[in-house]
Structure 1
Amino acid sequence: MSLALKNHIEKIVSLTDEEFKYVLSFFTKKKLQKHQFLIASGAPVQTDHFVLKGLLKATYTNDEGKQHILQFAMEDWWVTDYQAYFLQTNATLNIDCLENSEVLCLTLENREKLCRELQKIEHFFRIKTSMGFVAQQQRILSLLNKDAKGRYNQLLEQYPQLLQRVPKTILAAYLGVTRETLSRL
């Protein structure tokens, strides 16, 4: 069903065809339309999501109504409201589709079962989680230490494909600048 997921996992661990078939049996597939919410703030978060196709953005809206873009997620990336997912609480984030999207969904219960049963998958998720922490720290440090041009150049270097897929107003919001400033960059 999903060669993309198998290739993604095998960047870290090797799986036999039987092992992968078993792993895949724990996932469900979901299709979403552009502008549709994968996760809505205030709703329970049941699943983590591996992006097969499309582009999504995760946002937080503060008490004053200002929206902050935390991350984008495209093919071969994972996305959810991790606080709500791991603590089994309601979402504080919104995750919506910037393009028509397809994701594979994994419940926390199934993730835990897979990790208990297959040491390779536990290792895979440990590495993915660690790299997620690294990426989050880099993002925070970029916001704290770099000016607009520095943040733009870092984004261009790390994720050049995003610039072609994300509307300029949304890209500007992610970088913490106005659309006009982004145009000048």
Structure 2
Amino acid sequence: MSNLEARIYRLESLDQIRQLPAKYALALDMRDMDAMVSLFPADVRVGKEASGRAALRAYMDRTLRSPFTGTSHHIGGHVIEFDDADHAHGVVYSKNEHETGDEWVIMQMMYVDDYVRAEGRWHFARRLPLYWYATDLNKPPVGANKMRWPGAEWVEGNFHKLFPSYDEYWAREGDHGGPVTEPAPLEGFLNAMRRGQAAPRVKVRAD
């Protein structure tokens, strides 16, 4: 395609991908499982054993019944980078609220996403949730173990684990004094920030 066609294609793709997290949030909160699974490709992997939209729908249907009574997902900043014409990846912030029994749990997290273009549209290929905190609305999560679900042991979140800069920042006394690095390539900002850091293992919740 021409340079102009490529630029238009990229803009159209960006718009489609940006809408995916918002559609996902709405579908989850309204408990429309069919709408939610339509955001994934027909052959989506579900755990180690299953695949397909029906398997994902059944898994999410079970997961969203307990301990959640209701949820509200609020989408924040979204960084998107293209691998090629049909594949992309990104990071999107999400601030979530959960009614669970007689408590109201708030959560701050991000999704590390892979996107794929299939059947003429963009889909989620994979969503890796990274959590910072979860706690009752009236109990600020001060301290190290910020994941505080009612009736569960408090554990550390993994919100910062993908990016080495956070631990490096707190490990030094002040500015590192080295030269400022060159700006990352257009499709390499996230990779530059990760600096080869492997994705942490995550016990996935239904967010």
Q: Please, what TM-score do these two structures have when normalized by structure 2? A: 0.26
Which has more helix, going by share of residues? 1
Larger radius of gyration: 2
**Greater relative contact order, per chain length (Cα 8 Å cut-off, separation 6+):** 1
Q: Please, what TM-score do these two structures have when normalized by structure 1? A: 0.28
